[in-house]
Structure 1
Amino acid sequence: MGYIVTLLPHGRHEPRIRGLAMSGFRAYRAAAGRRHLRPQIRPAPAPLMFTSPALQRNYHNYFVTHLPSSSLHPDSRSPSGLHHKLPRSASTPHTPGPGASPAVVPPNMPSRDLTVVRIPLRSAKHHFGVANSRGQREYNEDANQAGTICMPAFARRAPISLVRSQMSKSGEGTSAKSVLGDPQLFYFGVFDGHGGSECSEFLREELHGYIEEAAAEFQLESSLQKHTRAELAETADSSQKDAQDTQEGQIKGVPAAGANEGASKAVKLELDLLDEYRRTVGGYFRRFKPNYFTLPKKDLATPSDGTAPEADPVTLEAVLTYAFLRADLDFITAQARKPDPDDPYVSDFPLNNDEVLGSPHQPPSGHGIGGPARFKGGSTASVALISSPTPAPFWHPASHSSLVVAHVGDTRILLCETKTGLPRPLTSDHHPSSPAESRRLRRFAESLVTDSFGEERIQGLANSRAFGDMQSKRIGVSAEPDITRVDMGPAEFSFLVLMSDGVSGSLSDQEIVDVIKEARTPEEGARHVVEYATEISSNGDNATCLVVRLGGWERRSEGGLGSLGTKEVRDARRAEALDPRRRGRN
């Protein structure tokens, strides 16, 4: 039915370390690698899926799809309409690597010539758009990311007969499968740095790698495939079977010896991570128990029948939580080993007994973490993963898909409902003033200070959860994400929006979706949101907005009042922003 796509790693460039010669950095990284690297589980070469042992990461800034071979004229046999609207001029032909199955025509598609191409996601303005502005700040500390990520599917199975019957009537491009055999899984993220951009840039370049690595280490199973990799391996060449049996536990996303063994390994990884937090950070993390971790109970420590206790299956929520916490711990321990430029006494002593101790693990890319000096700032993060049960892309009006959102801090993600035209927030800000965060922090923070704007802060921080911020870790500033899962029906939602607080702090959710409704493309919608937020903002914060097209995009103005619900308010706010007397009032 499908084929396997072998893709090259994206973003492999030389590390950029300010103020340090490249030759010196290579020597430093080599020395650090010999002392502090942890064992890495990497995909091993196998005859079924992977064709190169050098493949360490499979994140890409493009997706693979089928397009009509003619790029100048629409297919006369397909119905009239907007069709795929994919940027054929920006695409490149896709050639599977050695050992991959050949590309075939998708089932139930009209008989025509199709070409398998790679589409850069940021060039597909009809499907994805991003815009950012530094506002009135000197630097832009926001970062964002978009692409396809290599991990098992988590979508719910949909009525395939219904999807196929509607797909056969459309000229929409059909996406290809990933290297794991599942439909491609899309990843979007927005990161809002504070105190500098080092942490947000680290998350942009590395967080998706941590997620891929955690899925492999936890041996996360696909929600769509009925056969495990061990069963598929029985059809491989017998001469390679013995070698492959020892490597199956290292292949991404597929368990080698049953779900119980994978779950037991996941529990061990979770316990090891929590123990490392207790030893290196202490304070709040001495009794830290993440919501999505499956920790062993006391009555399971000694099974009555002498067998191993039955472990709970590995969940995507546990994988994301582990990836977030692992990335955060690596970042702060890397900073603790660097000299502090603000303290002349400890500048010669990278480690201090009053701060975080320990040594960082190597990030998935193998690059260094941050610059040569200690970075005390941090970053928020909100990521969205979209998985479809069939090769129909998630933006197709007939496609079912599942959305999982992981969130830390005050960046936000929301959906626009097609039927009502109303926004559906998927995140809530992690501020010390919120009841849940206040209860969590008051046991460890000596006091919560109220600033001149009436907002509560913890050691000067507006966010009670964040990456980095090493000086506030012991009092409870954690990178544990809140995770939300949404099953999206055909055309149930019009679009997905990810934004930094430079947008959400100035605009209401309804204003944001109404501005996007008036745009012709997601790219135009993201640009208009950032321009509007920057125009009326009173604090001039960095503003970033990502807009992702969903199945109900063409019907985005049908629900409720369309884009007219906030038009008067928006016009009034723009008029006030243009008033020359406004500055005096502020």
Structure 2
Amino acid sequence: MRPHHKLPRSASTPHDSTAGPSPATSLVGHSREMTVVRIPLRSAKHHFGVSLARGTRPYNEDAYQAGVIEIPAFAKRAPISLTRSQRGTFDGSGTSADGASGDPQVFYFGVFDGHGGSECSAYLREQLHEYIECSAKKFDFQSTLKKKTTKSDPDRAANDSPKASSSSVLKDEAIAKPSGKSIASADGISASTDNSHQGLRPDAPVLYEAIGSKAVDLEKDLITRWKNTIGGYFRRFKPMFFSPSGGGRGYPPGYDVAHQARHSSSSRDLTDDVVGIETVATHAFLQADFDFVTAQVEEEEDPVHAEKALNEHEVLGEPHKPSAADRKKKFKGGSTCSVAMISTPTPTPFWHPASPSTLLTCHVGDTRILLCSTATGAAIPLTTNHHPSSPGEGNRLRRYAATFVTDSFGEERMSGLANTRAFGDKQSKRLGVSAEAEIRRVELGPAEYSFLVLVSDGVSGTLNDQEIVDIVKEAKNPDEGAKDVVSFATEVSREGDNATCLVVRLGGWERREEGGGGAMGTREVREWRRQEATDPRSRMT
């Protein structure tokens, strides 16, 4: 059967099997002789699509990113029943390449909505994934697919950490397709799928207590720098997934990691709960925001720059037009952000109908992430808008004497800002505008969801969640779906804000029209909205 994509031979890269079988590949046998062809993600319209429009704004402040990041897998281990077929063999269908850590690739998708300029959104597009990778290395984040407790000493356990790289490893060449098949015996399935605690080291609690102590030190150091540099709200700042908050890494208050390690009878209790991906993501978001805000403050307070003439950087003949360097120093805007990371327990990619996977969403601001249920066709929101009108955000900020006002449109704002969480916005940091991510983990069953959608507020502010999902359902592929969503949102919008939509295919894509009557639920409403938008008389009211 021929592949769906017509690729030049120069774009293909053979899979490197010289490194030997990894714990992830051993789930389907030790021998995996095949050739993997890497397909550039942004040109794989059947798996991924994105569209941007500036609307009626003079320029586009939105940005997006898509690719693969090099961090250990955080997916749940797949049961043996999913790694064996009925005949006890695996045909290698849809097998993807592994990352540098030996785990299946972790996919990364992000949408960034800038305000007050595009500097912050561009910064997140180019740097945020690197912060996630660096945080994973700092915290010694370990793969959930490896048996770390069978190591004989801490030095060998440290070898399971991701391999260091000198530059960013977010790759555009992210989708892998096989051009051959691999037959693996069922008897060759590795013991890495076994969740038993046999072979547990006697001193394992001491090792993982040390790892937890290092994580606490990193968390405390970052919070201390926020408190000393920014102050205000951050003097009592307690991130949800940090140990100094009393819970830490999703634990309930009062949970003692060391005590749990000493009295645990399961290796999973010791390894998977020391440092979670939620802690890594929280640290990465806060560190990226701290570096961005600190750089802006240092540029303004530069004593050498303060002594220079005010018109030093003016453009000759155009004194009213500041130079690029001057505009950078005066930047006071920020950006919202929504990031989705997908990890699979086996080499089978997440878009395969028989593949389970784990989705982690990290959200700041009013961009949105939606899932489409295959069974019901309903839109499932994974994020909430961080606005002053949100009860949770209002309670969080009123404790720190933040002032809320209601504008002429009836929208509640804080110090002129519509978002209570954002990157940048240094003038509002002391009031509580932070980049602490709202993190959610979703276990995706085989073909349980049809697709994933990430949109900026230029789309979600005009269309409701179900309308966005129904428009994608009618498209032939994710790329067409993203373009249709942005086109419709731009057509019916009265504000003309920047609009961005990113669509990712999941296992149930081929069945997207089955649940909930397909896309018929909102079709009449969308047709009426389109007619109203094109009617010139409706614009006069």
TM class, shorter-length: 0.7 to 0.9
Counterpart Cα distance in 1 of 2:153 and 2:18: 15
Q: Residues 244-323 of structure 1 correspond to what in structure 2 (within 5 A)? A: 258-295=207-244, 313-323=274-284
The alignment partner of 1:565 has SS state of helix
1:250 is displaced (CA, Å) by: 8.7
The structure 1 residue matched to 2:47, chosen from 118, 122, 127, is 127
C-alpha spacing 1:179/1:284, structure 2 compared with 1 (3 Å): same
1:173 aligns with 2:94: yes
1:117 is displaced (CA, Å) by: 2.1
Residue aligning to 2:70: 150
The answer on whether the counterparts of 2:48 and 2:503 sit within 8 Å (CA) in structure 1 is yes
Counterpart Cα distance in 2 of 1:577 and 1:91: 47
Counterpart Cα distance in 1 of 2:255 and 2:466: 49
Residue aligning to 1:398: 354
Residue aligning to 2:60: 140
Structure 2: tracts of 5 or more residues without a match: 166-203, 247-252, 263-269, 309-324
The one-letter code sitting in structure 2 at the alignment partner of 1:205 is E
Counterpart Cα distance in 2 of 1:192 and 1:398: 34
The answer on whether the counterparts of 2:292 and 2:424 sit within 8 Å (CA) in structure 1 is yes
Counterpart Cα distance in 2 of 1:248 and 1:489: 27
The structure 2 residue matched to 1:429, chosen from 375, 385, 406, is 385
Q: Residues 393-472 of structure 1 correspond to what in structure 2 (within 5 A)? A: 393-472=349-428
> What CA deviation, in whole Å up to 9, does each residue of 1:281-339 have, x standing for no partner?
000000000011012869999x99xx9xx996111111111100000000000001113
Residue aligning to 2:296: 335
> What CA deviation, in whole Å up to 9, does each residue of 1:442-482 have, x standing for no partner?
13244211111111111111000000000000000010011
1:544 aligns with 2:500: yes
Counterpart Cα distance in 2 of 1:428 and 1:199: 21
Counterpart Cα distance in 2 of 1:569 and 1:138: 30
TM-score, scaled relative to structure 1: 0.73
Counterpart Cα distance in 2 of 1:573 and 1:426: 26
Counterpart Cα distance in 2 of 1:300 and 1:346: 50
C-alpha spacing 1:123/1:90, structure 2 compared with 1 (3 Å): farther
The structure 1 residue matched to 2:486, chosen from 525, 530, 551, is 530
Counterpart Cα distance in 1 of 2:102 and 2:220: 31
The alignment partner of 1:502 has SS state of helix
The answer on whether the counterparts of 1:183 and 1:388 sit within 8 Å (CA) in structure 2 is yes
Residue aligning to 1:574: 530
Counterpart Cα distance in 1 of 2:425 and 2:150: 41
Counterpart Cα distance in 2 of 1:378 and 1:536: 27
The alignment partner of 2:244 has SS state of coil
The answer on whether the counterparts of 1:90 and 1:119 sit within 8 Å (CA) in structure 2 is no
C-alpha spacing 1:232/1:517, structure 2 compared with 1 (3 Å): farther
1:376 aligns with 2:332: yes
Residue aligning to 1:117: 37
Counterpart Cα distance in 1 of 2:353 and 2:21: 28
1:498 aligns with 2:454: yes
Q: Provide the alpha-carbon RMSD of the alignment.
A: 3.7
The one-letter code sitting in structure 1 at the alignment partner of 2:67 is G
The one-letter code sitting in structure 2 at the alignment partner of 1:551 is G
Structure 1: tracts of 5 or more residues without a match: 1-73, 76-83, 236-243, 351-368
Residue aligning to 1:184: 105
Counterpart Cα distance in 2 of 1:231 and 1:549: 42
The alignment partner of 1:465 has SS state of coil
The structure 2 residue matched to 1:558, chosen from 514, 522, 532, is 514
Q: Residues 54-73 of structure 1 correspond to what in structure 2 (within 5 A)? A: none
Residue aligning to 2:139: 218
1:584 is displaced (CA, Å) by: 1.1
Residue aligning to 1:355: none
Counterpart Cα distance in 1 of 2:224 and 2:326: 25
The alignment partner of 2:74 has SS state of coil
Counterpart Cα distance in 2 of 1:108 and 1:172: 11
Counterpart Cα distance in 2 of 1:91 and 1:524: 27
1:88 aligns with 2:46: no
The alignment partner of 1:125 has SS state of coil
The one-letter code sitting in structure 2 at the alignment partner of 1:266 is A
How many pairs align?
467
Residue aligning to 2:286: 325
1:553 is displaced (CA, Å) by: 0.2
C-alpha spacing 1:96/1:488, structure 2 compared with 1 (3 Å): closer
C-alpha spacing 1:391/1:91, structure 2 compared with 1 (3 Å): farther
The answer on whether the counterparts of 2:15 and 2:36 sit within 8 Å (CA) in structure 1 is no
1:209 aligns with 2:130: yes
Residue aligning to 1:366: none
1:483 is displaced (CA, Å) by: 0.6
> What CA deviation, in whole Å up to 9, does each residue of 1:28-51 have, x standing for no partner?
xxxxxxxxxxxxxxxxxxxxxxxx
Counterpart Cα distance in 2 of 1:381 and 1:229: 39
The alignment partner of 2:329 has SS state of coil
Of structures 1 and 2, the one with the larger relative CO (CA 8 A, separation 6+) is 2
The alignment partner of 2:85 has SS state of helix
C-alpha spacing 1:291/1:558, structure 2 compared with 1 (3 Å): same
The answer on whether the counterparts of 1:90 and 1:123 sit within 8 Å (CA) in structure 2 is no
The answer on whether the counterparts of 1:416 and 1:494 sit within 8 Å (CA) in structure 2 is yes
Counterpart Cα distance in 1 of 2:228 and 2:107: 36
Structure having the larger proportion of residues in helix: 2
C-alpha spacing 1:248/1:434, structure 2 compared with 1 (3 Å): closer
> What CA deviation, in whole Å up to 9, does each residue of 1:471-508 have, x standing for no partner?
00000001001111100111000000000000100111
The answer on whether the counterparts of 1:339 and 1:349 sit within 8 Å (CA) in structure 2 is no
Q: More deviation in 167-176 or 386-395?
A: 167-176
Residue aligning to 1:348: 306
Counterpart Cα distance in 1 of 2:245 and 2:27: 46
C-alpha spacing 1:197/1:524, structure 2 compared with 1 (3 Å): same
C-alpha spacing 1:224/1:232, structure 2 compared with 1 (3 Å): farther
The one-letter code sitting in structure 1 at the alignment partner of 2:96 is S
The answer on whether the counterparts of 2:28 and 2:83 sit within 8 Å (CA) in structure 1 is no
Counterpart Cα distance in 1 of 2:147 and 2:433: 41
The one-letter code sitting in structure 1 at the alignment partner of 2:217 is K
Identity %: 58
Counterpart Cα distance in 2 of 1:463 and 1:234: 45
Q: More deviation in 292-301 or 546-555?
A: 292-301
The answer on whether the counterparts of 2:238 and 2:245 sit within 8 Å (CA) in structure 1 is no
Counterpart Cα distance in 1 of 2:329 and 2:355: 48
